[in-house]
Structure 1
Amino acid sequence: MSDSGSGGHYYWCTRHHRVETEADVCAARHVLGPYASAADAENALQQVRERNDAWDTEDARWAGEDR
């Protein structure tokens, strides 16, 4: 899928494992987004992993645990 720069939104579909646009987006329960570009949507799962790792580290720090 190309990023045409049309100003639309892009979503990562966890059901189909692909970038989707507003024209063909699955139900909200199956998507992450919206994202400003197809590239951002394609990297959504990596961003989720990074945020989860950061939050887990912060939770451990707050609880006084070493990570």
Structure 2
Amino acid sequence: MSDSGRGTEYYWCTRHHRVETQADICPAMYVLGPFGSKSDAENALQSVQERNEAWDEEDRRWAGEER
């Protein structure tokens, strides 16, 4: 169990391109997470891409580029 009390947390390692847990986690500079499931960690890069695209779109709207 993690320190947060939520159970196992999963991380995506950008260095090794694999899911890791607290038992085998790389330094923070290499991981994305925590995620609540292994599947969510496996899809971390897709989630990052989708969030970045949404934020870029919001920035364009805020700057008035969509008018």
Say whether the fold is shared (TM-score over 0.5). yes
2-structure distance, mates of 1:28, 1:36? 17
Note the C-alpha offset of 1:12. Answer: 0.1
* Residue ranges of structure 1 left out of the alignment (5+ in a row): 1-6
* Residue ranges of structure 2 left out of the alignment (5+ in a row): 1-6
Which whole-Å deviations, capped at 9, do the CAs of 1:7-39 have from their partners, x for residues lacking one?
A: 211000000000001100000000000111100
Runs of 4+ in 1 over 3 A off after TM superposition: none
2-structure distance, mates of 1:36, 1:53? 23
Note the C-alpha offset of 1:63. Answer: 0.7
1:44 aligns with 2:24: no
1:17 aligns with 2:17: yes
| Paired position in structure 1 for 2:55 | 55
Note the C-alpha offset of 1:50. Answer: 0.4
What RMSD in Å do the two structures reach over aligned CA positions?
0.6
Give the TM-score taking structure 2 as reference length. 0.86
2-structure distance, mates of 1:63, 1:8? 41
2-structure distance, mates of 1:37, 1:57? 28
